[in-house]
Amino acid sequence: MKQQLCIIFLGEVRVEFQGEVFQQQLVKSAPSYVVKAIPAQVIVGQETAEIDGREIVFHLRGYPPDILLIQCVVDVENLFQPDIFNLEAKLNVQVQTILKEYGGDIDYSEDYSIFIVTDYEGEPEQFLEHAPIIASLLKSERMELDPKEVDYTLKAQIKYAKNDLTIIDWDGAIVFDPVPADTAEDIELLTLANLQLLRHRILDRQLEEQLRQMSNIVLERTGRNMLIADRQLVNNLKEIIRIRMSSISQLQRLERDIKLIGDWYSARYYDLASNKFKIEEWRKAIRSKLESLEDIYAVIAENFSVSAKHRAEWAQIIAFFILQVGWFIIIILEFFYFTRD
């Protein structure tokens, strides 16, 4: 029997990735177009670090334009014991260090642990005798969990063959498969779900920043700085249009890519992971912000139009007043001209 700990870590960075495309494969009953639906990865390189006396290789790949994937797989003697938490923590410290080297923001990253058991005989349910520690690992929780919480955690599972099993939770998943090569698809789909979660979080942040910026400009648009504020409004209205169109495009692309997976094992697997990650709730929040952005755009555009109309009316009044003063001066000058001696 072989046991492994796989760490996947995704983060937004300040560089744009280019390079050789990494070939991804789905092997468990998936149509050919499924592979095309999965976002392409480019090979960035690899780094090594010594952890607990062993040299660990961290593979770096990028999702263009600016998402870095850091992944490592470590052989372990026994997954079902508390010391695995210490190894997991050390690996996470190292991947965070690598992300920072690329200018990444830890606040906008996703880390996920996959515990893998392969090369065994019989059915995977035999390992559920370790249910308490399995549930703790999946929740990154060192304390002993209540039996009801353990049962709830183990319910989020999926099987393809009689002798394989995957249990998925928010912080981690455990994969049982007698064929080591078949676990590559599990890792790929769990990575994809984490990627989609991160992209939704980034898109939500961009919309939140834009809403806050527009609110500040509207509040500052008073009195003597009105002309300056109006210039900012014009620029920001253009930016709103750009952000909104880009956001809608990104959201549609995220949804389209997943729909292409179809109703195969891969789709059911991804759905289980995305439900655990609450991706649909993030999608609803993004749609709500897009609607708010559209409402703000409509209000600002209307107010800007009204204020511009008012300024034009005042300009006409002032021009008319100046014209009247000019005519009055001409009349006075003519009066003095004709009444002089």
Would you give the DSSP letter of residue 38?
Answer: S
Q: Tokens in use for 249?
A: 């495009």
Instruction: Give the tens place of pLDDT for each residue, 205-260.
Output: 988 887 887 777 666 655 445 555 556 666 666 666 676 677 677 667 666 666 55
The interaxial angle of helices 183-220 and 226-259, nearest 10 deg, is: 160
- Asked if residue 42 has pLDDT above 60, the reply is yes
pLDDT score of 268: 86
pTM for the model stands at 0.80
Are residues 3 and 130 in contact, defined by beta-carbon separation less than 8 angstroms?
no
Mean pLDDT, all residues of the chain = 82
Provide, rounded to the nearest whole percent, the portion of the chain with pLDDT above 90. 47
Residue 121 and residue 178 in contact, taking contact as beta carbons nearer than 8 Å:
yes
SS3 state of residue 164? coil
More confident residue, 313 or 284: 284
* Higher pLDDT, residue 127 or 294: 127
Q: Is 213 exposed, middle or buried (0-12, 13-18, 19+ CB in 10 A)?
A: middle
Average pLDDT over residues 267-289: 89
Does pLDDT of 167 surpass 90? yes
Minimum mean pLDDT range among 27-36, 153-162, 233-242, 325-334? 27-36
Highest mean pLDDT: which of 110-114, 215-219, 254-258, 264-268? 110-114
Write down the pLDDT at residue 106: 93
Q: Helix, strand or coil for residue 62? A: strand
Running DSSP on this structure, what letter comes out for residue 119? Answer: S
Which pLDDT does position 133 carry in this prediction?
96
- Taking residues 2-15, report their average pLDDT: 94
pLDDT at 269 over 70: yes
β-sheet with 41-51: strand ranges across? 21-22, 41-51, 54-63, 67-76, 2-12, 109-118, 172-176, 165-168, 157-158
pLDDT at 223: 47
| 12 backbone dihedrals φ, ψ, rounded to 5° | -80, 130
- Across-strand partners of 72? 7
